[in-house]
Chain A
Amino acid sequence: MWTFLHKLASPPHFYRLAEKIIPWFAVSGLVLIAYGTWGGLFNAPPDYQQGDAFRIIYVHVPAAYLSMMAYMTMAIAAGIGLIWRMKLAHAVAAATAPLGAWFTFLALMTGSIWGRPMWGTWWEWGDPRLTSELILLFLYIGYIALRNSIDDLAKADKASAVLAMVGAVNVPIIHYSVEWWSSLHQGPTLIRKGGPAIVGDMLWPLLAMIFGFTFVFGALVLSRVRAEVLFRERRARWVRELVSATGAPA
């Protein structure tokens, strides 16, 4: 167990392991998304209240879920990097932040497009989850801004790690705000007592999309971490050997 973790933390080993894992993640993610897209757009019946407009949840829900998952990933990786001084963990945090910001933006945009026919407005300040998703985007922006404004990489890693952990205290507040405030937003339909309140033809494509997005997210994070590791270790011997072995100009 410990040797496995130690090997995982070594950049060259991670680099090769990630190379093997990425195709699996990417292919299973794309297959699930293909099924989810077909099931969501063609197979699922229209909603009796919302008509066809509800179909945007097949993008909105996975994006919103990933926006928070990415923040937790980033904060946990940052914490591991800060506490155990693991450089690879900092690379993971650095690679996750822009992806998380992007998924947050996607969730906001799809939520806004859904809101136009449903609420009759592009933006509804009265909805706490839309607002807290916006705050999450600001948190990502602050994190990226802090990282970019420190030139020394080791210092940038640690300082942004502190910020990520402080921000992580805020993420649960965001998640539970749906219960704290009165809301225009749909209540929870997937995870609740007595099973999901959604028919199977609608549910299965949604679950497929959630897992598909997660796999693709995993593949993207891993390839970004590979690039980050290559950059950070550019003076190390294994990177030079890798470059000369593949025949690229050194």
Chain B
Amino acid sequence: MTVMPRKMPALGHAFRAIIARDLLLAWKRPGDVLNPLFFFAMVSALFPLAIGPSHAQLAAIGPGVLWVAALLAALLSLNSLFLSDYEDGSLDHLLLSPQPLPLLVLGKTVSHWLVGGLPLVLVSPLVAVSFRMPSETVGILAATLMLGTVSLSLLGSIGAALTVGLNRGTALLSLLILPLAMPLLIFGARTVSLSAGGESTAAGLYFLAAYSVLALTLAPFAAAAALRISSE
């Protein structure tokens, strides 16, 4: 009985390896993780300063402001998703590797979400409390942001793959991604508002969950195709 030599690592191994590598890279440069969080907190703080400290007003605009700030913060970190790999040439290795590219892209997106999306979700209750949000609503906010940031990272991976190497900065990326992200913003912020009004939030949460499943299914393939085009 002959044993076939393992020519390449198993799929799951490659997937885990790329996540571990990107997490390690992020750990070595904590600024990349912290800056979007500070950005999120500061943008949220701008609105009470601009509008005034009236409790009723803050409670009314809270869900929308937090969602917009989270959207912008997520956008801010997206630009770097493939950039450092593009600059130091590791992207070419990913493209040449025998592993399926969508899987590797998904790995990078997962680690990007762990580094950029998840901390945002964890910090959001702190900011939400300052907007006089009741505690049940804070939970709903975290849930919508959890589902929303997953979709945003996935959508953003397509945009980042399309614009990598263009040197046009985040402005072009925002133009590409923001229209696609608007349904997320509408359902996310509306669901939080509904919850603050004491109404049922199931529909919005289901929509966000469905959207993230759809994005999880399609986005890695689109992003992989875009990466191949960008690095031709």
Interface residues of A (CB under 8 A from B): 82, 135, 138-139, 141-142, 145-146, 149-150, 155, 158-159, 162-163, 165-167, 169-170, 173
Contacts and interface: CB of A to CB of B under 8 A. Distances in A.
A160 B99 CA distance: 26
Given A146-B176, A155-B229, A159-B230, 5 more contacts: A138-B178, A146-B172, A149-B172, A163-B162, A166-B180
B89 to A, nearest CB: 19
Contacts of B225: 82, 162
9 contacts: A142-B176, A142-B179, A155-B230, A155-B232, A162-B222, A162-B225, A163-B158, A170-B180, A170-B183
Nearest to A128: B186
B166 A162 contact: no
Nearest to A170: B180
Contacts of B214: 169
A38 B176 CA distance: 41
Main secondary structure of the interface of A (DSSP, over half): helix
A162 B162 contact: yes
Contact of A145 (B175, B230, B232): B175
B175 A162 contact: no
Nearest to B158: A166
Nearest to B182: A135
B222 A166 contact: yes
Kindly name the residue among A142, A158, A167, A170 whose own CB sees the greatest number of chain B CB atoms within 10 A: A142
B180 A162 contact: no
Contacts of A162: 158, 162, 222, 225-226, 229
B176 A135 contact: no
A142 B182 CA distance: 14
Contacts of A173: 183
B229 A159 contact: yes
